[in-house]
Amino acid sequence: MPAQRTSAPALPTLGGQKRNYRERVADALRAALIAGELRPGEVYSAPTLAARFGVSATPVREAMLDLVKEGMVDTVPNKGFRVTAVSEKQLDEYTHIRSLIEIPTTAGLATTADPVALEALRPAAEETVTAAAAGDLIAHVEADTRFHLGLLALAGNEHLVEVVRDLRKRSRLYGLHALVEAGRLEDSAQEHLEILDALIARDEEAVRAVMTRHLGHVRGLWAAG
């Protein structure tokens, strides 16, 4: 398991956002967990996290209770919330299931998806690149999630989307920090645009190849930290 960090997580400031704080905070916390900004075994208090978000402690505490139900954190009485650990075996299993679902489903969209619907996902794909270039891991993970779940939604199977959403929540990408420091995360993010362009070109084999490479990073480039 990667060495634990003791510094405060680099969470976004959410004060002034119109969107429901609890939902926004919960999404950002999930992304922070996945990206390794919140580390396994460490205890975080709601007031401390709230200060990072720029909101009151109440929506943070409520969001963390949502994450308790999802198994991402445990409550620590009178202290806060401890991030749960995920084993290498579990991560391998989650990634294997994702590959079985996401690669063929996304490749199949090359012959079925509406080009207009595909183009609507370009902003999310571009946001992953922008966030990667800025070293904003939380924004990168959130945009990455919107892009891939948006693609899967075009297949018309809501249950499939929820299964992958759950698997993504359980994943941990501790290697993202190292990729940012090495200046390589932006190149990885560009694969989202490759996938989109191949889909619009109706090139199913190209989509399958890029998706296979892309998901391979989950337990390769993006995992080691």
As a whole number of angstroms, the distance between CA 164 and CA 102 comes to 8
Q: What tens digit of pLDDT does each residue of 18-40 get? A: 456 678 888 888 888 888 788 88
As a whole number of angstroms, the distance between CA 135 and CA 48 comes to 22
pLDDT at 43 over 60: yes
As a whole number of angstroms, the distance between CA 82 and CA 76 comes to 6
pTM of the complete model beyond 0.75 = yes
pLDDT for the residue numbered 225: 47
pLDDT for the residue numbered 12: 55
Report the side by side order of strands in the sheet with 73-76: 43-44, 80-83, 73-76
pLDDT for the residue numbered 202: 98
pLDDT for the residue numbered 196: 97
Average pLDDT over residues 196-204: 98
Q: What tens digit of pLDDT does each residue of 165-191 get? A: 999 888 876 667 667 776 678 888 999
